[in-house]
């Protein structure tokens, strides 16, 4: 019998462990995919911890409704291994990226096409077993997206870091028509954001990151200028270069990054927050009116947006970010490196097990 290898979360706050089970059989509309590549995302660190930092001593517990052992991994590209009798429109051997933000299909968010915001979701690698495995079960073929001629190492991460950046940047489209956009935080999502902004916007964005190596990578990838937010002169330098930015994307999501973003906004400016790093943000409430400022959050993106993004990428309009392949057995080492800030671009696990 075919066996399925997984790198599983067996206890919160503990290293992943290899678990081996029988190969699942897809039923109904389900499709079983052999994982080609699965990206390692910052949110995997939070899931492994079992909480989000809310600032001070406060933590948001996210351990509920996730039976252990659990398989992380939501940036999946794979090849169809087998399918249930009701899985129409796919064939074995077909390569696909997996839209992982799968909803219940019934709630108001799902009805509006926003399965990513579903209140009783089945998000792969978040509440249902994901792609740090040799195989993954997908509930319906509608979540499988052709990615040829892209590589699976690029296509998988497009479904989270790419989609998150794409959905966030679309919210800044009107601001980008009027001036330069600032991207803060050049991890996997930020670097994707840079590549996508180069396609969506007519002007190259400026970027900020505390890591000199990441700033260098961003400049090489076409950023107009790169700033170190830890440098006390950075805010003034951005203000004098731009007169204040109208659109900023905070891919970090910490008190410091959001302070930096709001601090360089022009009147009428908008910050979109996608990062989940943690902390508590405070600002004089009068500043919302004085600066006519908007701060809004996004969480990944919709299936329709995933299709739009993949179409752009397949047309060659999005430059792939640097990626590093590692075997599935090194999943924990990849998470450790990500936590320590040692990753430029994206690490992708190869699911062969």
Q: Which residues bind Zn ion (CB under 5 A)?
A: 41, 43, 103-104, 107, 110, 118, 160
Q: How far is the CB of 114 from Zn ion (least distance, A)?
A: 8
Q: How far apart are CA 161 and CA 348, in angstroms?
A: 12
Residues 6+ apart with CB under 8 A from 349: 7, 37, 38, 39, 40, 73, 131, 132, 325, 326, 327, 328, 330, 331, 334
Q: How far is the CB of 317 from Zn ion (least distance, A)?
A: 22
Looking at the Cβ atoms of 41 and 138, the one nearer to Zn ion is: 41
Q: For 339, list phi and psi in degrees, rounded to 5.
A: -65, -35
Q: How far is the CB of 181 from Zn ion (least distance, A)?
A: 22
Q: How far is the CB of 320 from Zn ion (least distance, A)?
A: 17
Contact at 8 Å (CB) between 24 and 135?
Answer: yes
Q: How far apart are CA 234 and CA 119, in angstroms?
A: 40
Peptide bond into 149 cis (omega under 30): yes
Q: How far is the CB of 79 from Zn ion (least distance, A)?
A: 21
Q: How far is the CB of 210 from Zn ion (least distance, A)?
A: 21
Q: How far is the CB of 100 from Zn ion (least distance, A)?
A: 8
Looking at the Cβ atoms of 96 and 265, the one nearer to Zn ion is: 96
Looking at the Cβ atoms of 104 and 219, the one nearer to Zn ion is: 104
Looking at the Cβ atoms of 176 and 306, the one nearer to Zn ion is: 306
Q: How far apart are CA 294 and CA 284, in angstroms?
A: 14
Looking at the Cβ atoms of 100 and 244, the one nearer to Zn ion is: 100
Helices and strands, number each (H, E), in the chain:
12, 18
Longest dimension (CA), the chain: 67
Sign of CA dihedral 324, 339, 231, 234: positive
Looking at the Cβ atoms of 36 and 81, the one nearer to Zn ion is: 36
Looking at the Cβ atoms of 162 and 320, the one nearer to Zn ion is: 162
Peptide bond into 263 cis (omega under 30): no
Looking at the Cβ atoms of 274 and 350, the one nearer to Zn ion is: 274
Residues 6+ apart with CB under 8 A from 74: 38, 41, 43, 100, 101, 123, 124, 125, 126, 130, 131, 159, 160
Written as one string, the DSSP assignment of 207-251 is EE-S-HHHHHHHHHTT-SEEE-TTSTTHHHHHHHHHSSEEEEEES
**DSSP structural state of residue 66:** -
């Amino acid at each position: 019998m075919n066996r399925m290898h997984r790198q599983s979360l067996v206890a919160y706050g503990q290293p992943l462990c290899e678990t081996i089970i029988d190969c699942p059989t897809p039923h109904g509309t389900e499709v079983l995919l052999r994982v080609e590549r699965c990206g390692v995302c910052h949110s995997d660190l939070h899931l492994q911890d079992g909480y989000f930092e809310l600032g001070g001593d406060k933590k948001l517990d996210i351990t509920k409704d996730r039976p252990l052992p659990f398989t992380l991994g939501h940036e999946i590209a794979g090849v169809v291994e087998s399918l249930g009798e009701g899985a129409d429109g796919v064939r074995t051997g077909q390569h696909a990226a997996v839209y992982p933000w799968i909803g219940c299909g019934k709630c108001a968010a799902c009805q509006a096409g926003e399965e990513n915001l579903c209140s009783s979701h089945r998000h792969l690698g978040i509440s249902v077993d994901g792609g740090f495995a040799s195989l993954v079960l997908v509930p319906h073929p509608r979540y499988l997206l052709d990615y040829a001629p892209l590589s699976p190492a690029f296509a998988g991460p497009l479904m989270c870091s790419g989609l998150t950046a794409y959905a966030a940047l679309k919210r800044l489209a009107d601001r980008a028509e009027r001036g330069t956009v600032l991207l803060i935080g050049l991890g996997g999502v930020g670097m994707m954001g840079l590549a996508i902004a180069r396609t969506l916007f007519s002007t190259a964005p400026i970027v900020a990151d505390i890591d000199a190596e990441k700033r260098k990578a961003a400049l090489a990838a076409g950023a107009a200028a790169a700033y170190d937010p830890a440098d006390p002169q950075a805010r003034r330098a951005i203000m004098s270069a731009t007169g204040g930015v109208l659109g900023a994307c905070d891919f970090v999501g910490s008190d410091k990054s959001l302070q930096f973003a709001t601090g360089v906004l022009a009147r009428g400016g908008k910050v979109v927050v996608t990062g989940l790093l943690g902390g508590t943000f405070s600002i004089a409430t009068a500043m919302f009116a004085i600066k006519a400022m908007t701060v809004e959050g996004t969480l990944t993106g919709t299936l329709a947006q995933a299709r739009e993004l993949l179409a752009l990428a397949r047309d060659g309009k999005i430059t792939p970010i640097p990626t590093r392949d590692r075997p599935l057995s090194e999943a924990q080492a990849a998470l450790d490196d990500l936590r320590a800030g040692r990753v430029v671009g994206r690490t992708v696990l190869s699911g062969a097990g």
